[in-house]
Amino acid sequence: MLEIKNLRATVDGKEILKGLDLSIKAGEVHAIMGPNGSGKSTLSYLLTGRDGYEAVDGEVLYKGRDLLSLAPEERAGEGVFLAFQYPVEIPGVPNTTFLKEAVNSVRRYRGEEELDAMQFVKMLRQKTKELGFSDELLKRQVNVGYSGGEKKRNEALQMAVLNPALAILDETDSGLDIDALRVVAESVNQLRSPDNALLVITHYQRLLNYIVPDHVHVLAHGRIARSGGKELALELEQNGYAGYLGTAA
């Protein structure tokens, strides 16, 4: 589904990713772990097309297409979703309005018919029920005045509603207590299917107790320093990243 080959990327002119390779197949869950400043967030923004993040070498193929040539909204239309580390507040815009706009934009992109208000509300009710979220979350303005846990839960809801083929979770565990973490992780797990892939970016191992990965990669100094199975995460938890910090190029 996703093929990253020898990716080099800069942020504001500074090289952050230095030849990264990664291959993700449909149905797989990959975790990327790494110390602060290793390029984890850069990778997530680069894959979703944020301004200022620029690939200078290498390629990213998504379902066989050159992902980096697409605008952010086109990538979303193609099924790429980013759960933000810091979800953004949009004052005055009700959550429902935002979600409806998003769903219908994606449908338009795909040449599908837009949902009318009734159809949309019905679908939304269904999703919130499945995830065990209250409707109250829908009436509020996008992320305004939410607790850390509510923000992340809102990201999970958006993900459920948009049902992406490739979901990237950027430090979803940051700012969450253990109960909130479990709730969010459960809702993410509901999305796992043979057709979807997950890329979980995290600093700590504890999220991976709930979202169990098929593959774990250590990102250090802008490239994958080591790959392994889920046991690699436990090893990192015990030994820390110290062993990877010395390998600076």
Residue 117 burial (C-beta neighbours within 10 Å; 0-12, 13-18, 19+): exposed
- State which of residues 55, 61, 102, 123 lies at the interface with another protein (CB under 8 A): 102
The pattern of x and - marking residues 161 through 190 that bind another protein according to CB under 8 A reads -x----------------------------
Report the residue from 3, 10, 26, 141 that binds another protein according to the rule CB under 8 A.
Answer: 141
Closest contact distance (angstroms) between CB of 195 and another protein is: 19
Residue 82 binding another protein, by CB under 8 A: yes
Question: Given candidates 8, 15, 19, 98, which one binds another protein under the rule CB under 8 A?
Answer: 98
The smaller minimum CB distance to another protein, of residues 111 and 194, is found at 111
Question: CA end-to-end span of the chain, whole Å?
Answer: 30
Give dist(CA 168, CA 69) in Å, integer.
Answer: 19
Among candidates 155, 148, 181, which has minimal Cα distance to 83? Answer: 155
**Residue with smaller CB distance to another protein, 89 or 135:** 89
* Stretch near another protein under the rule CB under 8 A, chosen from 7-15, 74-82, 120-128, 235-243: 74-82
Question: Residue 50 corresponds to which tokens in the numbers above?
Answer: 């944020």
Q: Applying CB under 8 A, does 106 fall inside the site for another protein? A: yes
Q: What is the nearest approach in angstroms of another protein to the Cβ of residue 105?
A: 4
Question: In this structure, is the dihedral angle defined by the CA atoms of residues 6, 10, 13 and 18, taken in order, positive or negative?
Answer: negative
CA distance 161 to 175: 23
Secondary structure element (H or E) that encloses residue 166, with its range:
strand 166-170
From candidates 12, 14, 36, 91, binder to another protein by CB under 8 A: 91
- Closer to another protein by CB, 143 or 202: give it: 143
Instruction: Please report whether residue 76 would count as binding another protein according to CB under 8 A.
Output: yes
3-state helix, strand, coil in the chain (%, to 5): 40, 30, 35
- Tell me whether residue 212 is exposed, middle or buried, using C-beta atoms within 10 angstroms of its C-beta: 0 to 12, 13 to 18, 19 or more: middle
Distance of closest approach, residue 162 Cβ to another protein, in angstroms: 7
